[in-house]
């Protein structure tokens, strides 16, 4: 019984061992398969890690390339906003000027493409397309700039336009427009410059012509010659048809305006106000020359800044614009002074012109100096002619019928001569070189002294004669004491010497 139980237990254990061995074999088989799969997974992980490293390296290289060539690529890819601005943008807005500068960069960089990496990124076909697009955009910019400049030039042909404002905002403020045009289409830029020159030639002539008509309406004091005239009673008066006040005005420098500037220029409103009031000739001359100088100087500086003219082109271009106006100015001044006998006014015009010459040299406006020189050439001979007329007037003066009736006090004529000499000497105080005026003044003084001697030739009383001469010489030398300069000194010394002789 016991043996049977043991056999059964042993048999069952054997069966269990067999079952466990089968399970163990399955587990071993599963572990072996897992190891194989684990090895395969490890190999895959190693491959993925290697691929990841390679991708990381490539990504890093791409970032370096993008960083290095990104700007180069951008300069060859025209932004849509740039194209839109150039084609349809408002040219008065600063954005258009900025867009033009950007386009200039694209055009400039395209011609300098030498980087191998850039050529690798941009296909040959793509580069050609970008270049063609840049050129088309350049042509569009040139077209719009041409139209813009033409419209601006046409503005000058309108009536009352503010030339300075137009030039400042539409030309100088947009100077890069013309610079761009000159670089990419030099022939067109020259044609536009010629159109501007022709227009301004008409503009200045038209306005200066009408300005000359305006100044011609002013009643100008012709002036007077020094001459005594005998009335019915045998006494001398200072000039037929002239009041004492007007006579003193013509020869007195103190009663004339001493300083003129651009604010005192005669304009339409001013002329309408003073049309019936006589004016000294120098005010007309000053107004004309100041206006002419102001416009000519402004135009010259504009030409230099906007067109960037060479030294050779500066004079040619300036005269192409102002030739007509210069001829008009020459004729106007000739007509203005041709009938004048106002020596003070003519000399003031000469001094003013000399100041303009110095000012033009200081401001570096050499092109206008020939105009001033031509004015000097006109004015000096006229002054000489007037001084000759004064001398001739003294030489032809009638003598008093009764010399003994002359008072020993200074003759009224002496007052006028002294005022004239004082005014001429004062205006010549700063003159450092010999001038034609010196000879003319000396001649006038000698003729006047000769006339005084004729006045007293018939005097029976020599003491009265000497007293008469001495009083006249003393008056002139006293008046000249208030003037400075070589001319005043010489004339004062001359009359003091004469006074000493008659008092000996």
Q: Which of 68-77, 124-133, 323-332, 419-428 is predicted with the least confidence, judged by mean pLDDT?
A: 68-77
Closest CA to 264 of 280, 253, 276: 280
Q: How far apart are CA 497 and CA 242, in angstroms?
A: 33
- 269 in any annotated domain: yes
Output the pLDDT for position 271.
79
pLDDT for res 401: 60
In the prediction, which pLDDT does 129 show?
76
| Residue 122 scores a pLDDT above 70 | no
Contact 103, 86 (CB under 8 A): yes
* Number of folded domains that form the chain: 3
Closest CA to 254 of 492, 486, 479, 413: 479
Q: Are both 209 and 242 inside the same structural domain?
A: yes
Residues 361 and 250 in one domain: yes
Choose one of 378, 398, 418: the last residue of a domain. 398
Weakest-pLDDT range from 148-157, 165-174, 273-282: 273-282
Same-domain pairing of 201 and 333: yes
Q: Are residues 207 and 343 in the same domain?
A: yes
Q: What is the pLDDT of residue 109?
A: 46
Phi, psi of 254 (to 5 degrees): -70, -25
Q: Residue 59 domain-assigned?
A: no
Helices (H), ranges, 124-243:
124-155, 163-166, 175-184, 186-216
Question: What pLDDT does 238 receive?
Answer: 37
pLDDT digits (tens, 9 = 90+) for 60-116: 888 877 776 666 555 556 788 888 999 999 999 999 999 999 888 888 744 444 444
Question: In this structure, are 360 and 487 located in the same domain?
Answer: no
**Long-range pairs, 165-168, Cβ under 8 A, ≥24:** 167/302, 167/306
Same domain, 344 and 416: no
Angle 281-302/343-362 helices, nearest 10 degrees? 20
Largest CA distance in the chain: 210
Domain span at residue 417? 399-504
Of 365, 398, 431, which residue constitutes the final position of a domain? Answer: 398
20 part of a folded domain: no
367 in a structural domain: yes
Give domain status of residue 14, yes or no: no
Q: Quick one: which H or E segment has residue 236?
A: strand 236-237
pLDDT of residue 240: 37
Name residues whose C-beta falls within 8 Å of residue 265's C-beta, 6 or more positions apart in sequence.
Answer: 286, 287, 290, 291
Shared domain check, 84 and 149: yes
Q: Is residue 190 part of a domain?
A: no
CA pair distance 56, 96, nearest whole angstrom: 44
Same domain, 281 and 380: yes
Tokens for 22, please give them.
Answer: 């089968």
Are 232 and 333 within one domain? yes
Q: How far apart are CA 34 and CA 198, in angstroms?
A: 99
490 and 343 belong to one structural domain: no
pLDDT computed for residue 113 by the predictor: 41
Residue 28 vs residue 439, higher pLDDT = 439
More confident residue, 37 or 449: 449
Structure confidence at residue 342 as a pLDDT band (50, 70, 90):
very high
Indicate whether 248 and 387 sit together in one domain. Answer: yes
Per the domain annotation, does 344 fall within a domain?
Answer: yes
pLDDT at 45 over 80: yes
Residue ending a domain, among 336, 369, 398, is: 398
CA–CA gap between residue 94 and residue 14 (Å, rounded):
103
Name the percent of the chain lying above pLDDT 90: 47
Which two structure tokens, joined as six digits, stand for 430?
Answer: 């700063």
Provide the mean pLDDT of the chain: 83
Domain presence at residue 64: no
Query: Is there a single domain that holds both residue 179 and residue 206?
Result: no
Q: Of the ranges 192-206, 214-228, 298-312, which is most confident? A: 192-206
């Amino acid at each position: 019984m016991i043996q049977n139980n043991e056999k059964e237990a042993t048999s069952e254990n054997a069966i269990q061992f067999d079952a466990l061995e089968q399970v163990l074999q399955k587990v071993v088989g599963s572990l072996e398969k897992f190891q194989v799969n684990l090895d395969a997974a490890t190999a895959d992980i190693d491959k993925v890690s290697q691929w990841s490293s390679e991708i990381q390296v490539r990504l890093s290289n791409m970032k370096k390339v993008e960083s290095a060539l990104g700007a180069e690529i951008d300069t060859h890819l025209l932004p849509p906003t740039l194209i839109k601005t150039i084609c349809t943008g408002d040219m008065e807005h600063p954005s258009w000027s900025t867009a033009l500068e950007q386009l200039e960069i694209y055009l400039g960089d395209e011609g300098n493409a030498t980087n191998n990496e850039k050529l690798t990124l941009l296909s040959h076909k793509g580069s050609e397309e970008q270049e063609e697009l840049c050129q088309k955009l350049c042509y569009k910019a040139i077209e719009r700039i041409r139209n813009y400049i033409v419209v601006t030039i046409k503005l000058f042909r309108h009536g009352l336009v503010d030339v300075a404002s137009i030039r400042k905002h539409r030309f100088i403020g947009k100077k890069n427009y013309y610079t761009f045009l000159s670089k990419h289409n030099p022939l067109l830029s020259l044609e536009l410059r010629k159109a501007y020159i022709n227009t301004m030639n008409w503009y200045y002539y038209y306005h200066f012509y009408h300005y000359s008509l305006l100044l011609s309406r002013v009643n100008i004091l012709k002036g007077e010659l020094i001459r005594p005239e005998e009335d019915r009673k045998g006494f001398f008066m200072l000039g037929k048809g002239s009041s004492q006040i007007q006579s003193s005005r013509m020869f007195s420098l103190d009663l004339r305006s001493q300083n003129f500037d651009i604010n005192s220029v005669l304009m339409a409103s001013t002329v309408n106000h003073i049309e019936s009031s006589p004016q000294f000739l120098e005010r007309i001359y000053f107004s004309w020359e100041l206006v002419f100088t102001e416009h000519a100087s402004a135009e010259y500086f504009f030409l230099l800044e906007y067109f960037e003219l060479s030294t050779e082109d500066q004079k040619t271009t300036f005269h192409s614009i102002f030739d007509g106006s210069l001829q008009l100015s020459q004729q106007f001044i000739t007509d203005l002074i041709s009938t004048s006998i106002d020596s003070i006014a003519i000399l003031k015009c000469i001094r003013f012109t000399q100041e303009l010459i110095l000012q033009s040299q200081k401001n570096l406006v050499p092109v206008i100096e020939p105009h001033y020189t031509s004015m000097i050439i006109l004015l000096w001979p006229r002054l000489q002619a007037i001084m000759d007329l004064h001398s001739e007037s003294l030489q032809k003066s009638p003598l008093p019928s009764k010399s003994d009736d002359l008072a020993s006090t200074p003759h009224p004529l002496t007052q006028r001569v002294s005022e004239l000499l004082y005014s001429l000497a004062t205006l010549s105080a700063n003159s450092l070189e010999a001038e034609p005026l010196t000879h003319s003044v000396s001649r006038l003084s000698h003729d006047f002294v000769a006339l005084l001697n004729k006045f007293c030739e018939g005097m029976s009383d020599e003491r009265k004669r000497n007293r008469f001469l001495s009083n006249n010489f003393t008056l002139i030398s006293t008046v000249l004491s208030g003037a400075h300069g070589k001319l005043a000194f010489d004339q004062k010394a001359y009359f003091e010497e004469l006074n000493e002789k008659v008092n000996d």
